[in-house]
Structure 1
């Protein structure tokens, strides 16, 4: 395989969020031959089985997930748990027949927040990933404090240390993905 394609899905809808910034920084440090798109979730409605026809925003998200060999999930922490936008994206994808969009895909989890940098939410997300039969990269983990100068006002990563952590994680995700393909 000459080209590997990943999809970044961020749980924050705010354009200047540090978690979206982590996805952009991960995109910038990908190994050669690897590409990553970043999904837009702002117009994706909450999942409901009452919605008959999938909205275009959902069709777009599902097509992006289908075309990716692996996922990078940027996980904000809301009340010690996963942000609703991220969980909703996974919920929509999991409703496809036999969970075929998610089952067997590799995942790296990143997150920026206060104190422990979304560690509680990331561990909760790992539980969800187990149910969805996603293969979560165990190490390296990326937990970033969003309030200690690691990001600028636009959510862009300022820290070389954070970029190095992301580069190591992306390299490990690529290795795991190629091993499982």
Structure 2
């Protein structure tokens, strides 16, 4: 998505595998990698959650990262426009993971403004990509194009409505 939509979105990956495990013991003194992660997310204009499905849910590293975003009182993603895409090698394409993710994101300490009605579930993803990691399935590409365009329109509407509300 980063290369395909480079002319429309500036997608900057934020890596979560090295974010320390959340613990109440270090909540008030987070490590540098936690602070860097939170700052990267806070500095973004919007958030794209790209979620695979592992054992019918989101990866543990994603849950951990979201736990950090909900703590510290800075409301890192509250009212920030966001959308979710997901994939799996199974036919359901991350449906269950995204249901869990939406439930987690409904926490008032998180509450991004999610793009409604544009769920992206890419099932059997391994059959829809080439060796370079590019989506090659024409139907999937057309749908992603539509969702990205819908998000851009949603983003502009959301930003103007949030600015008026503040």
- Taking structure 2 as the reference length, the TM-score comes to 0.82
In 2 relative to 1, CA 177–143 (structure 1 residues): closer, same or farther, beyond 3 Å?
same
8 A Cα contact 1:140 1:169, kept in partner: yes
Query: Which deviations, in whole Å up to 9, do the C-alpha atoms of 1:129-175 show, x marking residues without a partner?
Result: 22221111123221112355112345432223222222221221221
- In structure 1, the gaps of 5 or more residues are 1-24
Distance in 1, matches of 2:10 and 2:74, equals: 27
2:59 and 2:36 mapped to 1: Cα distance? 20
The farther-off stretch of 144-153 and 73-82 is 144-153
SS at match of 2:128: coil
1:160 to 138, 141, 147: 138
Q: Which structure features the higher share of strand residues?
A: 1
72, 84, 95: which is aligned to 1:109?
Answer: 84
Size of the aligned set, in residue pairs, is 155
CA 33–119 in structure 1, closer or farther in 2 if over 3 Å, else same: closer
**2-structure distance, mates of 1:40, 1:97:** 22
Secondary structure at the aligned position of 1:73 is classed as strand
- Structure 2: where are the runs of 5+ without partners? 160-166
Kindly provide the CA deviation profile for residues 74-95 of structure 1, in whole angstroms up to 9, marking residues without a partner as x: 1111222221111111111111
Q: Does 2:49 correspond to 1:73? A: yes
Distance 1:174 1:44 in 2: 29
Aligned to 2:144, the other structure's residue is in SS state helix
Q: Distance in 2 between matches of 1:96 and 1:153?
A: 41
Instruction: Summarize the alignment of residues 33-44 of structure 1 with structure 2, pairs less than 5 Å apart.
Output: 34-44=9-19
Moved over 6 A (4+): none
Q: What is the 5 A alignment of 1:94-105?
A: 94-99=70-75, 101-105=76-80
Partners of 1:106 and 1:97 lie apart in 2 by 19
Residue 175 of structure 1 corresponds to 153
87-96 or 46-55: which moved more? Answer: 46-55
